[in-house]
Structure 1
Amino acid sequence: MTKEDSIMTNKEKVQHEYDIYKDSPVRLLGYANEVGEAFRNQFGSGLWIKATYGIAVAYVIADALDKTVKTYRRKHDIGQTALVGTDTLIWQLLASVAIPGYTINRLCAVTNKLIKKRTKLPSKTRSAIVSFVGLAAIPIILKPIDHLSDKILDITLRKITDSKE
């Protein structure tokens, strides 16, 4: 192995660093809105559901700010810093809020409709089942949505950022 082979690029170093926003239970805050969506059938679309979106968006902003500050401290390059911050913000909005929130919302709506149409269960029982289905789906959808978000950025924003490196 040559000396050049043993030196990691900055991008690789960032990927191997411990990241509290991706490698710890703090990551779960990004999925607060999915929990809210799972319980929407029971609580409606009131303040509680909005609060779960607030938690998830706060997590997204905190992660984007963290990556922005770390990049600036490491590179002192405003352009690169802006690209990393933008990439993180958009990725997190897609992977933690928009796509999974929509997915759980639709899954719960379809589940509710099917149960209502095919059974005579009381509404509280139906709502509990719908919430259970929504909660059970969260760990199943996370990795595919993360990969989808990567693909979306790979064919859009990252094409721009890669050409600027």
Structure 2
Amino acid sequence: MYPKENDPYRDTPIRYLGYANEVGEAFRGFIGSRLVHYSYAVASLYMLADTVDKLTKTYEQTHKVHKTLFTATDVFFWQFLASISIPGYTINRICKGTNYLLTRTKISVAMRNTLTTSVALLCIPIIIKPIDRFVDTVLDNTLRKIAP
């Protein structure tokens, strides 16, 4: 689909910039919604950087506009689903559920926020690979079936 050499956006720690919004979601109880939105901006810039990188490399290698646009579309949707929307929603729901369960206890709000954030941060590395594989499967069975 796109150039397969060592990919800094997927094979290096730069990949974790795509998860900035999950870290933001994890800290929502401490930092509030406004700063969480900034974490989504970081993840979105990462997504766009990867898309532009693959677009540029594909065009330089193939000089085919339709293949280049298809590759950019594939990367954009992959990053949007695998880095932003699905993990962001997942961590948000983990936080919501953890916080809900902890409201049933007699611990302080500060401790509840700390525990909620800790659970969410611990879940981030666990959800990455399954979500990536899920998104690959979804795109393999939809968008990629019409690849030029």
Q: Deviations over 1:5-59 (max 9, x none)?
A: xxxxxx5x933x111111111111100000000011222211x111100000000
CA distance in 2, matches of 1:70, 1:62: 12
Moved beyond 6 Å, runs of 4+:
none
Q: 1:7 — aligned with what?
A: none
When the two chains are superposed, the root-mean-square deviation of aligned CA atoms in Å is: 1.1
Q: 2:24 — aligned with what?
A: 36
Gaps of 5+ in 2: none
Select the residue among 45, 60, 77 that pairs with 1:58.
45
CA distance in 1, matches of 2:33, 2:48: 23
Q: 2:9 — aligned with what?
A: 21
Amino acid at match of 2:60: R
Paired residue secondary structure (1:120): coil
CA distance in 2, matches of 1:150, 1:19: 16
CA distance in 2, matches of 1:78, 1:61: 18
Once the two structures are TM-superposed, the CA of residue 155 in structure 1 deviates from its matched residue by 1.5
Q: How many residue pairs end up in the alignment?
A: 148
Which is greater in Rg?
1
Is residue 152 from structure 1 mapped to residue 141 from structure 2 by the alignment?
no
CA distance in 1, matches of 2:113, 2:103: 10
Instruction: Work out whether residues 3 and 54 of structure 2, in 8 Å CA contact, stay in contact via their aligned partners in 1.
Output: no
CA distance in 1, matches of 2:88, 2:119: 14
The alignment's TM-score, normalised by the length of structure 1, stands at 0.87
Work out the percentage of aligned pairs sharing the same amino acid.
Answer: 49
Is residue 84 from structure 1 mapped to residue 74 from structure 2 by the alignment?
no
Gaps of 5+ in 1: 1-10
The alignment's TM-score, normalised by the length of structure 2, stands at 0.97
Q: Aligned runs of 1:2-21 on 2, under 5 Å? A: 11=1, 14-15=3-4, 17-21=5-9
Amino acid at match of 2:131: I
